[in-house]
Structure 1
Amino acid sequence: MRIAASVAGAAVAGLWATAAPALAAPERTCADGTCRITLTPPQLLAAAERLIGEQHFAEAKPLVEALRLAPGFKLQTRFLGGLIAARTGDYASAADAFMAILADDPRQTRVRLELAQALMALKKTASADRQLRIAQQDADLPQQIARTIRTVRDTIRSGRAWRLDFNIGIAPDTNINNATTAQSITVLLGDQAYQADLNEDAKAKSGLGQTAQLSAGLRLPVAPNVSALAELDANGTNYGGRHFDDYAVQLAGGAEYRLTPTSSVSLEGVYARRWYGGNATTEQVGVRTGGQMVLGTRDRFGYQIDVRHVRAFFDRGYDGWQGGVYGTLEHALTRTIVMSAGPFVRRDWLREKPFSNTEIGGNVGVGGELPYGFNVGGSLGLSRAMFDAPLPIFDLKSRRDTRLVVRTTLGNRKIRLFGFSPQVNWTYNDIDSSLKLYGIERSRFEVTLARYF
């Protein structure tokens, strides 16, 4: 905590200088042995700041409460109220006050540093690290404070860190059975081609489901520069009946080795399983390795290599191996807005060659915090999949797919209901395939309440 306090202490001197031009002396009038002092709002603010700096919190509190009545001083009174709460040990109230300020104006670096200190006192180290990471993007940050922030973040990462995110809501979907967009298909029998119309069961069905996602992680130091990793990701959507219910779970465990204070590598074993329509559809067992490094104050590069054995319960022809290489470069456009981009190559080596393929593509995205508590994000992924062999019953040429995925997210952390905040996600999938049977179009909304621990 001494390290975190030094961040805030340095910030007091370097980031929030409220003393502007010299203030006029308070107006003083005396009558019948009683003197009355009249303070203007700027004088009241200066007096409250001085008392807080001298740790006279009880005396400063009524001045802050009086300042709340003055127009144009909402931010200052919120901040000073948060400071008094933090300095007197009421870290929960302090965190609420600082988060309210940042919800309206996420550019306030000084407030973000105070929030990080309060979150560390509440043992919410992962959240504190996130606030410090955003604060690092401030180009006007004095070098002394920047160095201290790096030290604090290193301390956080070397300690026990855990995360838990959960959301629950409803999911309107235009294609809950992931059906083809084709109305008919061509079937080749010998030298003859026949046109076959698809029945209603093969066509897209819309629906409204109940959805939930859970993501948890643990990083536990076990040796100098080495931490044990454990992760759990689960999600599911329930529709009326069970024919289109979709559930998935993934477990990962391994270790991370920190090469330098700003770079690390990791190795994990992975197990994943999916159920659709009440039945297990796939099981995957494999390993993944990755790494990340910080490039300056605004950029970060990461990569991941993932290799798994796939067992398909619905069709043994899909049994085999799956591997991929993924890269990501993140760049902070502003203190609170980050852009990311990266290529990927994925390969499926399956039992049946017509199902084996190579996919090459990339993703680009942007997201971050906006004023008034809004969080936004958007991404676009585009790829080309080339299959190893044709399906002679449909086409004499190997299948080719162009795949598009668009995702957007809008949330507001200023609105709270039992700690949960509203969030809306939209995902659009489009597969343009040379075999029309595999062409898919799907639009899915998720209206959820999300909580981040």
Structure 2
Amino acid sequence: MNRLLAALAFMAALLVPATAGAQALIDQCTAETCKARLTPDQLAGEAQTLILAGRFDEARPMVAALMTVPDKKFEARLLSGMLAAGTGDHARAAEYYKAILSDDPSQTRVRLELGRELLALGHTASADKQFKIAQQDGDLPDDVARTIRSVRDVIRQRRAWRLDVDLGIAPDTNINNATSSDTVTILWGGIPLPLMLDQRAKARSGTGITASISGGVRLPIANKMSAIVDLDLAGNNYSGAAYDDYQVQAAGGVEFRLTPTSSVSLQGVGAQRWYGGQAVSRQTGVKAGFQIRLSDRDQMGVQIDSRRTDALFDPSYDGWQTGAYVTYERAVAKSLVVSGGGFVRRDSLKAEAYSNTEIGAIAGFGGELPLGITFGLSGSVSRAKFDAAIPLFSIDPRQDWRYTARATLGNRGWRLWGFSPQVSASYSRIDSSIDYYRNDRLRFRFALARYF
């Protein structure tokens, strides 16, 4: 850890203005009493010179004076953070740097300082995130960029755990994911007949309590190899138990680093889902992944996931579900990322009428904005074709167009016990050749989230 901090100190020093090494004005005094009139810029420069020289007590009143200058809030916060860091108060230093980035997320030097303080606090996952964003700055000196890459490699090798938690409420227009049609057409002896749907078979709205926990452990076990364990839990609780939905998934395996910029992983997976107070499905399988950093701004990933599903509510849905996913990410600005990709999914189930192949594309855009605001936009479109017809509804196999869209807005500048507010809206729609399977769903989520 000390080697990491030393490397980061060198990296941050490379971004400090050259004037920081000038002689302090206080050292130029020859009389017992020395008076000087300083502009705010000169005051900031003098304070920085003293801080870099380790003369914190002398710098402290200058930083306090700078705090009173309205248009020098950035300089005052930066120097306050440097002063706190120099005296070992890493938590306080991190708060100053977070405040700066909340107003202006493009400050790369401040982001590096924040990453260093988070690392000193033992928050390796959060530190790595800051270094990743800083790494996307195309104006970084080559030696700084190399140092960031080296530090991130060491963090990934040493990082032992991660944990994300959120809790909120979720108004939903379709908590049972059902059709909104009043009638559907069925075939009776080959004759189409309209059938009135019972209210229980139609879309129902409601508001529930939602929560999720995502955690993981990575432990080095050999040269370039780590054991990895992931655990994800999510749940939605509505009034009564009829539409409560809970899921848990665990995965364990190994990750092998092929090169400094690429790795592969292989994990066994197990999952279970409960709906309406009853266990409805169990899954066991395997997933494999490949990740590569193409440059400081570009990265790509490939994942293959194959599972055996045991459908406890209807054995017709028993079978294998396999998917292949490709994603590409590019940083288009210091703190903004655009992504895209595609996927193929295959459900080979006991009933051919429920077996299908789905092909789709995904896209996303997100990042950090001033005032501590984070945002994300994403969407997907796909086409699903089923293997056989459902005689009750049609003589032709079912075909779907499926659409999803999601928008998320958060504010990392507001925190309560480490939790930040987050609002999201997600929309999904299925345009099916069979009326009974057509539906749309709009879901809002008002939550507090914390990332350890």
CA RMSD of aligned residues (A): 2.0
- Equivalent residue for 2:95? 96
- Equivalent residue for 1:408? 407
- Equivalent residue for 1:252? 251
CA contact (8 A) 1:7 1:145 kept: no
- Equivalent residue for 1:133? 132
* Partner deviation per Cα, 1:246-302 (whole Å, 9 max, x = no partner): 111110000000000110000000011111100111111000001100111211010
Structure 1: which 5+ runs fail to align? Answer: none
- Equivalent residue for 2:6? 5
SS in structure 2 at match of 1:163: strand
- Equivalent residue for 2:444? 445
CA contact (8 A) 1:160 1:221 kept: no
- Equivalent residue for 2:211? 212
- After the TM superposition, which residues 288-437 of structure 1 pair with which residues of structure 2 at under 5 Å, given as runs? 288-437=287-436
CA contact (8 A) 1:4 1:152 kept: no
Amino acid at match of 1:254: G
- Equivalent residue for 1:55? 54
CA contact (8 A) 2:5 2:120 kept: no
Rounded Cα–Cα distance in structure 1 between residues aligned with 2:30 and 2:123: 52
Change (3 A) 1:74 1:236: same
TM-score, structure 1 as length reference: 0.96
Rounded Cα–Cα distance in structure 2 between residues aligned with 1:375 and 1:306: 30
Change (3 A) 1:120 1:174: same
CA contact (8 A) 2:317 2:349 kept: yes
Change (3 A) 1:43 1:356: same
Rounded Cα–Cα distance in structure 2 between residues aligned with 1:34 and 1:266: 67
CA contact (8 A) 2:125 2:159 kept: no
Shift of 1:161: 2.7
1:156 aligned onto 2:155: yes
Rounded Cα–Cα distance in structure 2 between residues aligned with 1:191 and 1:94: 75
Shift of 1:162: 1.2
* Partner deviation per Cα, 1:138-187 (whole Å, 9 max, x = no partner): 11100111111111111111113311000101000001111112221111
Shift of 1:193: 2.1
Amino acid at match of 2:121: L
Q: Kindly, what percent of the aligned residue pairs are identical?
A: 54
SS in structure 2 at match of 1:292: strand
Amino acid at match of 1:249: V
Rounded Cα–Cα distance in structure 1 between residues aligned with 2:100 and 2:159: 29
Rounded Cα–Cα distance in structure 2 between residues aligned with 1:290 and 1:35: 66
SS in structure 2 at match of 1:364: strand
Shift of 1:194: 1.4
Rounded Cα–Cα distance in structure 1 between residues aligned with 2:446 and 2:10: 41
TM-score, structure 2 as length reference: 0.96
Rounded Cα–Cα distance in structure 1 between residues aligned with 2:310 and 2:72: 63
Shift of 1:5: 3.0
Rounded Cα–Cα distance in structure 1 between residues aligned with 2:30 and 2:46: 21
Which range moved further: 150-159 or 167-176? 150-159
Amino acid at match of 1:241: G
Rounded Cα–Cα distance in structure 1 between residues aligned with 2:125 and 2:30: 55
Rounded Cα–Cα distance in structure 1 between residues aligned with 2:299 and 2:354: 36
Shift of 1:6: 2.8
